[in-house]
């Protein structure tokens, strides 16, 4: 009875081993020695169930998994690296990763996260050190969702955050404050235009900040002040469309004097104006930037200049209105001018006549001068100017 029992247990043991070895989700590749499971582009619609429980690295990429649920990763407490890139994930549910007690690295690149539950990243003990969301946020609502989830997740151990390629235009103030130990922040390839007073508040351990490939035209005083506050950080600012006018001078000076290390300071180039295109921002002096004199003089010069321009515009406008009014009233004005002209002529001729009469006493009493004029001629009575011409001097002499 004994001999057959041994082979039976052996068979059982072998069976177990074979099933244990075979315990790999269909179409996935499992490396038992490295505790790695890889399901790359195999047409999955959800996280497979039969993942070995000792897996430490789980790579599920290039599938179509619209939603991550609460129980998606149950029983996988040894997973440290989870790569879920390129799965078209739209929604991350509450506590989606909370059974992954050892999770250190979570890669969610190239998804379309429309909805991120506030407790999406809540994991007991918050072991997460790296979170990558490159080209993953669907729109600004997703960003605000993410900020809430970062706060609720209490990710106090997070060291790396990648938010590149998300078309971000605005970073809400203090959005990184829930990540007090963050060391590497990647905001590359977004559409950021400005850094504000508290954009990076609360992250005092930052070592590297990547702001390349954004939409900065310059960095204003407030932004420089904020970046300066980051102290030891290594900053990357290349491939932004810098506008090299006088306004950029402060920034250019800062590049040389800041205690922040700008890793690519020699590779910051002007995009505008065309004449300065591809010139290094750092070597451009005040002269080349069109700034003359001290900054204060510049400002007053500039405001004087603008006020002159404004005055010119106003005067031009007034002139045009005047011309328009003149044009519209041209008939009336013509008549008016004729009247004035005639009136003047009357007066002048009148005075001239009087002068002649006054100066030549011989003419004082000679009435036949007036008789030669059509003064009392009834046929010519319709010419009032002539009538007045003759009328006035006679009044004067009388
Ligand atoms: C998880 O890893 C630990 C230590 O590496 C090991 O002792 C334990 O058996 C593993 N758990 C599972 C479910 O494989
Ligand atoms: C995640 O998976 C993608 C696609 O397979 C791969 O290109 C990428 O290198 C992986 N990232 C990490 C951090 O493992
Ligand atoms: C983001 O997309 C979602 C889903 O389409 C929509 O409900 C939401 O209004 C969008 N938010 C913004 C700011 O456009
Ligand atoms: C930048 O981000 C956009 C939008 O997410 C993406 O399509 C593009 O491939 C990214 N470019 C680079 C060079 O990463
Ligand atoms: C920025 O905030 C600090 C306090 O946190 C304040 O002292 C400073 O005046 C602010 N700067 C600007 C430009 O608003
Ligand atoms: C910055 O320093 C470089 C050399 O170190 C110098 O050529 C350049 O003129 C300086 N730029 C400014 C704006 O001070």
Ligand lying closest to the C-alpha of residue 213: 4
Ligand lying closest to the C-alpha of residue 107: 2
- Ligand 5 atom closest to the Cα of residue 197 is 1
Ligand lying closest to the C-alpha of residue 141: 3
Which of helix, strand or coil describes residue 178?
coil
pLDDT given for residue 5 in this prediction: 46
pLDDT of 146 higher than 60: yes
Ligand lying closest to the C-alpha of residue 110: 4
pLDDT given for residue 372 in this prediction: 41
Separation of CA 300 and ligand 4 centre (Å) = 42
Structure tokens at 336: 């008016």
- Confidence category of residue 305, pLDDT binned at 50, 70, 90: low
For residue range 309-349, list pLDDT tens digits in order.
667 777 877 778 778 877 777 777 677 767 777 776 776 66
- Ligand 4 atom closest to the Cα of residue 189 is 1
20-29, 45-54, 165-174, 286-295: least confidently modelled range: 286-295
End-to-end CA distance of the chain: 169
pLDDT given for residue 211 in this prediction: 98
Query: Looking at ligand 5, which residue's alpha carbon is closest to its atom 3?
Result: 197
- Ligand 2 atom closest to the Cα of residue 40 is 5
CB of residue 197 inside a 6 A radius of ligand 5: yes
pLDDT given for residue 352 in this prediction: 58
Distances (CA, A) of 234 to 21, 186, 269, 282, 363: 47, 12, 19, 17, 107
Structure tokens at 34: 């490295």
pLDDT given for residue 60 in this prediction: 97
Percent of the chain scoring above 90 in pLDDT? 60
pLDDT given for residue 381 in this prediction: 41
Query: Looking at ligand 5, which residue's alpha carbon is closest to its atom 13?
Result: 222
Ligand 1 pocket test, pick from 78, 81, 99, 102 with the greatest ligand atom count within 8 Å of Cβ, gives 78
pLDDT given for residue 393 in this prediction: 42
* Letter string b/e over residues 160-172, b meaning 16 or more CB atoms within 10 A of that residue's CB: bbbbbbbebeebe
CB of residue 283 inside a 6 A radius of ligand 6: yes
Query: Looking at ligand 5, which residue's alpha carbon is closest to its atom 8?
Result: 197
Structure tokens at 357: 């009469």
pLDDT given for residue 284 in this prediction: 83
For residue range 211-239, list pLDDT tens digits in order.
999 999 999 999 999 999 998 899 999 99
CB of residue 297 inside a 6 A radius of ligand 5: no
- Ligand 1 atom closest to the Cα of residue 54 is 14
Q: Between these two residues, 358 and 71, which has the higher pLDDT value? A: 71
CB of residue 222 inside a 6 A radius of ligand 5: yes
CB of residue 107 inside a 6 A radius of ligand 2: yes
Query: Looking at ligand 2, which residue's alpha carbon is closest to its atom 10?
Result: 83
pLDDT given for residue 389 in this prediction: 41
């Amino acid at each position: 009875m004994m001999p057959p029992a041994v082979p039976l247990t052996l068979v059982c043991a072998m069976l177990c081993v074979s099933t244990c070895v075979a315990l790999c989700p269909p179409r996935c590749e499992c490396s038992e020695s490295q505790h790695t499971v890889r399901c790359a582009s195999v047409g999955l619609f959800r996280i497979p169930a039969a993942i070995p429980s000792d897996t430490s690295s789980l790579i599920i990429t290039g599938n179509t998994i619209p939603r991550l649920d609460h129980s998606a990763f149950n029983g996988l407490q040894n997973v440290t690296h989870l790569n879920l890139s390129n799965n078209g994930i739209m929604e991350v549910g509450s506590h989606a990763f909370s059974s992954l007690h050892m999770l250190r690295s979570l890669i969610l690149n190239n998804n379309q996260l429309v909805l991120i539950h506030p407790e999406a990243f809540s994991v007991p003990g918050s072991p997460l050190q790296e979170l990558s969301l490159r080209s993953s946020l669907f729109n600004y609502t997703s960003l605000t969702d993410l900020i809430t989830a970062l706060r609720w997740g209490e990710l106090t151990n997070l060291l790396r955050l990648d938010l590149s390629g998300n078309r971000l235009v605005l970073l809400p103030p203090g959005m990184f404050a829930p990540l007090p130990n963050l060391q590497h922040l990647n905001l590359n390839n977004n559409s950021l235009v400005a850094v504000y007073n508290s954009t990076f508040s609360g992250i005092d351990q930052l070592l590297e900040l990547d702001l390349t490939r954004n939409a900065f035209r310059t960095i204003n005083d407030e932004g420089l002040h904020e970046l300066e506050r980051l102290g030891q950080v290594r900053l990357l600012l290349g491939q932004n469309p810098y506008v090299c006018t006088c306004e950029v001078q402060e920034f250019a000076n800062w590049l040389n004097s800041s205690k922040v290390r700008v890793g690519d300071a020699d590779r910051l180039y002007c995009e505008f104006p065309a004449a300065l295109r591809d010139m290094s921002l750092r070597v451009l002096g005040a002269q080349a930037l069109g700034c003359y004199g001290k900054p204060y003089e510049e400002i007053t010069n500039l405001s004087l200049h603008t006020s002159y321009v404004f005055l010119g515009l106003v005067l031009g406008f007034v002139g045009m209105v005047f011309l328009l009014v003149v044009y519209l009233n041209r008939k009336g004005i013509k008549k008016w001018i004729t009247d004035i002209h005639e009136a003047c002529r009357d007066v002048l001729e009148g005075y001239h006549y009087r002068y002649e009469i006054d100066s030549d006493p011989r003419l004082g009493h000679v009435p036949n001068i007036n008789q030669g004029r059509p003064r009392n001629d009834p046929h010519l009575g319709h010419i009032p100017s002539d009538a007045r011409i003759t009328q006035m001097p006679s009044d004067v002499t009388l």
